[in-house]
Amino acid sequence: MMSDIAIRVENLSKQYHIGKRQESYRTLRDTLADAFTAPFRRAGKLLRGQATGAAELDAAIWALKDVCFDVERGEVVGIIGRNGAGKSTLLKILSCITEPTEGYAEIHGRVGSLLEVGTGFHQELTGRENVYLNGAILGMKRGEIDRKFDEIVTFAEVEKFIDTPVKHYSSGMRLRLGFAVAAHLEPEILLIDEVLAVGDAEFQKKCLNKMQDVGQQGRTVLFVSHSMPAITRLCPRTILLDAGRILEDGPSHKVVGAYLNSGLGTTAKREWPDLATAPGDDVARLRAVRVRTKDGQTTEAVDIREPVGLEMEFEVLQPNHMLFPYYNVYNQEGIKVFSAIDQNPDWKGRPRSTGQYVSTAWIPGNLLSEGMLFVGAALRTPNRKIRHFHAREAVAFQVIDSMDGNSARGDFSGRMSGAVRPLLEWDTQYTPNKEE
Amino acid sequence: MEIENLVKHQPIADMLSAQEADDVPVTRIEPSTGWVSLKLRELWQYRELLYFLTWRDVKVRYKQTVLGAAWAIIQPFFTMAVFSVFFGQLAQIPSDDIPYPIFSYTALVPWSFFAQGLRQSSDSLVGGAHLIKKVYFPRLAMPIASVFSGVVDFTLAFIVLLGMMLFYGIVPTLNALWLPLFLLLALVTSLGSGLWLSAMNVQFRDVHYTVPFLIQFWMFVTPIAYPSSLIENRLARTLYGINPMAGVVEGFRWALLGKGTAPGPITIASSLAALALLVSGAFYFRRMEKTFADVV
């Protein structure tokens, strides 16, 4: 029976052409001749319907290659992978925005895709007008929008401004309105690309709840996200893509775990190979920052129970300066979680010689909260207001709670807020009532 | 009802024969090659989007301008004034015994509609690149909406034309009933060339720079400032109708002013040319459509 399948993907591949650098011309005559003939050659290609840009197109990359999977009706499937893994390309093909190069996909049901919040909003139009325009663009019928209009406006919390042009909205209001329209789509299959990465924390929560409702209504959802907590919370099953291929496909906690251990992440490490342009001054310059595990691996995501090391490599260019490195750590809501200053007595208050230094700060396990953390690395001279470098958001990493029951959340599976989530020692005194 | 409707007209791609008792539409997504169908039925399914896109274009066009919709009148009206002084008075260009101002204005009204439609539609895909990359809908809706939105401007300019007819004491005959067809001819011409140019513009931004030049050139080869009766040879005049706008302009004059060149052969030539332009444009557009999201 086909009826249980919502999406079937067979050997789906997508090739993109990327411009190749042109060979250098031998003679001026060739150059001129080519300048005259090239437009005609391109025009010829154009008429034959070949995809060409202005550049010669020889090099090609496979954004997706031989991707196969089935999604059953009512399943909520997460798709993860680093940037360029092919996640967005997959959603674009499934929503008919772009054609595959090979293979095919079969979709059983009406598709709504949400690749961006507020697509097609026009600055000059009012909120009300944009709800209709955006709804129509996403495939809603006019009557459907009429019916849901009040609900959408209430959800977006923009009642007062609904007849104000959107250009006067704050970016938050615009996002809320855009998401509100999309959240009221009622297709059988919903494709969502990283839309929760926007908006304030409060609204993100609201969206997550709405999404959870969507999943529970028996709708099929494909959900692309960089947020491992969102993936593990919303999707029982996850597909891991890398370089256009499926690397893993299975229960989310396993796939997310495999992803975290594979070192596919790239944001966890940053290097400045060129000393002259690296952050810093004549005294010292930053060479690299990375997030590492105990055994020295660079990691994009860490288990909430494990310690994690923030490592910076810097070069001291002038001797006899007293220097201290420090980190600023922010969460995804933009709240500073903490600053950490090097207090090691071996180096504290001592002038440093020129050369390479690698300083690592260890954050203990069971301290951080789930979510994305952004690390800024800096170097200062004490007592004088000189900051030699400060690389904001130099690296980022994800803190994951695999919910095995022995983290600070224990067996509690609901939403836990808070900038930190320490595993504290608890002590309870019990005094029985005297009567008993 | 609603669901049944959706099932019947699956909006996204070709339907498989739904043998299953399931009332679920099935979309098959696979590579296409060569010339593809126009999917006009799907376009019809998206008529509400077409309506909203047109409505957006109309709403937005004169936002934050001082003169607002008056621009729709100013452009053809002032062109008429300039033409009347230089071509009518100074150069003494004949105007089929019609007062020169209304002779040229009658031509400028459909011409402005055509030129604006062409300008807007040729930029519609590039201007709506963010939409093309993020949502699916029949891309044909974009240039079509651009041309449709010009109908509002046309109406305003046309009202002024009626006022001028009153001023010159010209009473329209029953020929005026043909007017909608000539407007349709202008629309088809505008859309046909708009389809070609918008699809090309995705890959070659040269088009953006070519269009103003093209419009200017096209205006000179269209009998706006002069009557097509300047061409004495009947056959040559019919061939002149291969420029569909020649048929439109002469048609407008004939339908409203009761004079001008008898539109028979020239109208047929123009209609055929416009139709050829539209059909070829639509197929070319559909053929290139699959590359839009990747290239734009």
pLDDT of residue A268: 81
Q: Which residues of A touch B130 (CB under 8 A)?
A: 116, 119-120
Q: Does the pLDDT value for residue B7 go beyond 60? A: no
Number of separate domains in chain B: 1
Q: Which of A13-27, A63-77, B235-249 is predicted least confidently?
A: A13-27
Query: What CATH number was assigned to the domain covering residues A65-261?
Result: 3.40.50.300
Instruction: Kindly report the nearest CA distance between residue B225 and chain A, in angstroms.
Output: 34
- Comparing alpha-carbon positions, the chain A residue that sits nearest to B64 is A124
Confidence tier at A358 by pLDDT (50, 70, 90):
very high
Per-residue tokens: B7: 């099932």
Q: Which of A387-391, B155-159, B276-280 is predicted least confidently?
A: A387-391
CA A131, CA A158: separation in Å to the nearest integer? 12
Q: What is the pLDDT of residues A269-308, one digit of tens each?
A: 888 888 888 888 889 999 999 999 999 888 888 889 999 9
Q: Does the pLDDT value for residue B32 go beyond 60? A: yes
pLDDT of residue B98: 87
Task: Say which of A46, A51, A132 has its CB closest to residue B294.
Answer: A51
Task: Say which of A94, A129, A188 has its CB closest to residue B29.
Answer: A94
Instruction: Kindly report the nearest CA distance between residue B60 and chain A, in angstroms.
Output: 7
Q: Does the pLDDT value for residue A50 go beyond 60? A: no
Task: Say which of A100, A116, A129 has its CB closest to residue B30.
Answer: A100
Q: Which residues of A touch B64 (CB under 8 A)?
A: 124
Q: Maximum Cα–Cα distance for chain A, whole Å? A: 109
The two beta strands, A220-224 and A189-193, are: parallel
Q: Which residues of A touch B125 (CB under 8 A)?
A: none
The pTM of the whole model exceeds 0.90: no
Confidence tier at B5 by pLDDT (50, 70, 90):
very low
CA A67, CA B75: separation in Å to the nearest integer? 55
Q: Is B134 on the interface with A (CB under 8 A)?
A: yes
Tokens 């893993």 correspond to what residue?
A248
Q: What is the mean pLDDT of residues B233-255?
A: 89
Q: Does the pLDDT value for residue B244 go beyond 90? A: yes
CA B63, CA B59: separation in Å to the nearest integer? 7
Scanning A97-200, the segments in alpha helix (DSSP H) are 127-137, 142-156, 171-183
Phi-psi region of A366 (alpha: psi -120 to 50; beta: other; left: phi over 0): left
Q: Does the pLDDT value for residue A227 go beyond 90? A: no
Q: Does the pLDDT value for residue A224 go beyond 50? A: yes
Per-residue tokens: B30: 């696979």
Look over chain A and give the mean of its residue pLDDT values, rounded to a whole number: 83
Q: Does the pLDDT value for residue B11 go beyond 50? A: no
Q: Does the pLDDT value for residue A53 go beyond 60? A: no
- DSSP symbols for A102-124: EEEEEEES-EEEESSTTTT--TT
Q: Is the dihedral of CA B255, B258, B261, B265 positive or negative?
A: positive
Considering chain A, what percentage of its residues have pLDDT values greater than 70? 84
Tokens 């539609």 correspond to what residue?
B121
- Locate the domains of chain A by residue range: 65-261, 269-400
Q: Is A3 on the interface with B (CB under 8 A)?
A: yes
Per-residue tokens: B26: 């099935």
Q: Is A42 on the interface with B (CB under 8 A)?
A: yes
Inspect the interface and report whether the beta carbons of B28 and A96 lie closer than 8 Å. no
Instruction: Kindly report the nearest CA distance between residue A417 and chain B, in angstroms.
Output: 33
Inspect the interface and report whether the beta carbons of B29 and A107 lie closer than 8 Å. yes
Query: Is residue B29 a part of any domain in this protein?
Result: no
Q: Which residues of A touch B287 (CB under 8 A)?
A: 49
CB atoms within 10 A of CB B9: 14
Q: Which of A266-270, A432-436, B168-172 is predicted least confidently?
A: A266-270
pLDDT of residue A243: 86
Query: Is residue B86 a part of any domain in this protein?
Result: yes
Residue of higher predicted confidence among B262 and A341: A341
pLDDT of residue A201: 58
| Residue B52 Cα to chain centre, angstroms | 18
Q: What is the mean pLDDT of residues A66-81?
A: 91
CA A338, CA B43: separation in Å to the nearest integer? 56
Q: Does the pLDDT value for residue A68 go beyond 60? A: yes
Q: Is B93 on the interface with A (CB under 8 A)?
A: no
Query: Is residue B255 a part of any domain in this protein?
Result: yes
Inspect the interface and report whether the beta carbons of A98 and B49 lie closer than 8 Å. no
Provide the number of CB pairs (under 8 Å) joining chain A to chain B. 129
- DSSP symbols for A310-370: EEEEEEE-SSSEE-EEEEEEEETTS-EEEEEE---TTTTT-EE-SEEEEEEEEEPSS-BPS
Select the residue from A137, A148, A188, A193 to test the B interface by mutation, using most B Cβ atoms within 10 A: A137
pLDDT of residue A25: 45
Q: Which of A192-201, B12-21, B125-134 is predicted least confidently?
A: B12-21
Instruction: Kindly report the nearest CA distance between residue A53 and chain B, in angstroms.
Output: 6
Q: Which residues of B touch A133 (CB under 8 A)?
A: 52-53, 56
Tokens 């001129």 correspond to what residue?
A32
Q: Does the pLDDT value for residue B36 go beyond 50? A: yes
Inspect the interface and report whether the beta carbons of A95 and B290 lie closer than 8 Å. no
Inspect the interface and report whether the beta carbons of A105 and B30 lie closer than 8 Å. yes
Query: Is residue B199 a part of any domain in this protein?
Result: yes
pLDDT of residue A204: 67
pLDDT of residue B152: 93
Task: Say which of B20, B28, B288 has its CB closest to residue A3.
Answer: B20
Q: Is B269 on the interface with A (CB under 8 A)?
A: no
Q: Which CATH architecture has domain A269-400?
A: Distorted Sandwich (2.70)
Q: What is the pLDDT of residues B173-200, one digit of tens each?
A: 888 888 999 999 999 999 999 999 999 9
Inspect the interface and report whether the beta carbons of B11 and A116 lie closer than 8 Å. no
Q: At a CB cut-off of 8 Å and minimum separation 6, what does A385 contact?
A: none
Q: What is the pLDDT of residues A237-270, one digit of tens each?
A: 999 998 899 999 999 888 887 776 665 544 688 8
Query: How large is the ipTM?
Result: 0.81
Q: Is A60 on the interface with B (CB under 8 A)?
A: no
Q: Does the pLDDT value for residue A320 go beyond 70? A: yes
pLDDT of residue A298: 86
Inspect the interface and report whether the beta carbons of B49 and A136 lie closer than 8 Å. yes
Q: Does the pLDDT value for residue A54 go beyond 50? A: no
pLDDT of residue B12: 39
Inspect the interface and report whether the beta carbons of A2 and B22 lie closer than 8 Å. yes
Inspect the interface and report whether the beta carbons of A53 and B295 lie closer than 8 Å. yes
Q: What DSSP character marks residue A126? A: B
The answer to whether A291 and A269 are in contact (CB under 8 A) is: yes
Q: Does the pLDDT value for residue B14 go beyond 50? A: no
pLDDT of residue A2: 46
Q: Which residues of A touch B13 (CB under 8 A)?
A: 96
Q: Which of B57-66, B71-80, B111-120 is predicted least confidently?
A: B57-66
Q: Which of A99-108, A193-202, B199-208, B237-246 is predicted least confidently?
A: A193-202
Inspect the interface and report whether the beta carbons of B134 and A42 lie closer than 8 Å. no
Look over chain B and give the mean of its residue pLDDT values, rounded to a whole number: 86
Q: Is B12 on the interface with A (CB under 8 A)?
A: yes
Q: What is the pLDDT of residues A105-120, one digit of tens each?
A: 999 988 888 887 778 8
Torsion of CA B115, B120, B126, B128, to 10 degrees: -170
Q: Is B213 on the interface with A (CB under 8 A)?
A: no
Query: Is residue B26 a part of any domain in this protein?
Result: no
Instruction: Kindly report the nearest CA distance between residue A152 and chain B, in angstroms.
Output: 19
pLDDT of residue A402: 74
Q: At a CB cut-off of 8 Å and minimum separation 6, what does B69 contact?
A: B62, B152, B153, B156
Query: Is residue B16 a part of any domain in this protein?
Result: no
Element (H, E) at B286: helix B264-295
| Domain containing residue B218 | 68-295
pLDDT of residue A266: 47
